[in-house]
Each structure stands twice: as C-alpha cells, then as structure tokens.
Amino acid sequence: MTVHKMIFAGFGGQGILLIGQMLAYAGMREGREVTFLPSYGPEMRGGTANCTVIISDHPISCPIIDKASCVVAMNLPSLLKFESMIEPGGKLFINTSLIEAEPARKDIEVYKVGATEAAKAEGNEKVANIVMLGAVIEQTGVVNAESIKKLLGETFSGTKASLLKINEGAFETGRKITF
C-alpha cells in the first residue's frame, strides 16, 4: 500500500497552500485517494502557513497527520516545528535560501534546495514554491510530473497567463536539482 503523508510549511505569501493544493489535484486526477488540509495564521501574508496532503492508493481514514513521510520547510520556524514529525527514513526538503540551520535528525533523508535563489535566477523569487514542488515531485514520485505541468497550465491561464512560462521554468529547474 502506497501512502504519502506530506506537510508543506512556510510563511504566508510563499505559495505553500497553492503547491499543496496542486499536489492534491494531481493525485485526484491520477485516480488516487487524497486529502488536503490547509492551516494558516490570521495575518495571512507573512504569518505562518502550512498544509497537509495525503495521497494514497486506498481510502484515507483521517486527514490529520501524526507522522509525515515528507516535510517541506520553506523557512526556519517551519523546520523547527515540523522536523520532529517526519517518520524515520522520511524525507525533509529545506529551502536553504532562507534556512541556514542544519536539521537535528540523522535518521531522515535531507534534500537541500536553494529554492529562493533558483527562483531569482528564473526571474521572480515568488516562484520558489514551484521550484520546491519540482524537487519534491522528482525525489518522491508522489505524482507524475505531467500531471503538475497540466495543472500549471490551468492555474496560470486567463489573467495569470503571463506567469505560466516562469512557473513552468521554475518547475523544471526544481526537477533538475541534483542532490
């Protein structure tokens, strides 16, 4: 039975909930069972934001995660809060552009992604979340990259069509990061 229990965390304005939602939609479109549970502080931009996503081949009994197979920490408070929730052997993705601290755990796989720097190189640091999503998809295989590419096209259409190319580039940049 394949179950991916994931936590995405950062501060409001980093697009944490967007990438969690995109991952959930991709899982649904691939015929998987999915839960998406967002959480954010009342101040939104600049406050805390996180979400849990569970993607499974079988029915999910509860959307609440006590142990995660994967945590994405886009800032230091997120690393400090969620590192302990990773199951032994699980994966931790750290945005090293904003986190200089080393993880305390030695029983997990750590992926250091300079997401903000990579996003700046793409031309807009606001796509750091999409860089990170690319790295997560490539290293976990939780959903197919093609599913995310289709969602990018749908998400960044209409009045947001001008943002599609940079987001597609950011996603591919994240996928190509080597560890």
Look at the block and give the residue holding tokens 């998406």: 36
CA 51 to chain centre: 9
The span from the CA of 179 to the CA of 173, in Å, is 13
Domain CATH code at residue 168: 3.40.920.10
Q: What is the pLDDT of residue 46?
A: 62
Angle between helices 128-140 and 164-176 (to 10 degrees): 40
Whether residue 12 is predicted with pLDDT greater than 90 in this model: the reply is: no
| pTM, entire model | 0.95
Higher pLDDT, 45 or 136: 136
Percent of the chain having pLDDT more than 90? 92
pLDDT digit string (tens) for 106-121?
A: 999 999 999 999 999 9
Whether residue 78 is predicted with pLDDT greater than 90 in this model: the reply is: yes
Can you give the residue range of the structural domain that contains 143? 3-176
Number of domain units in the chain: 1
- Mean pLDDT over residues 139-144, rounded? 97
The span from the CA of 168 to the CA of 179, in Å, is 21
Q: What is the pLDDT of residue 175?
A: 98
- H/E stretch holding 20 reads helix 16-29
pLDDT digit string (tens) for 29-65?
A: 999 999 999 997 665 566 679 999 999 999 999 999 9
Whether residue 179 is predicted with pLDDT greater than 90 in this model: the reply is: no
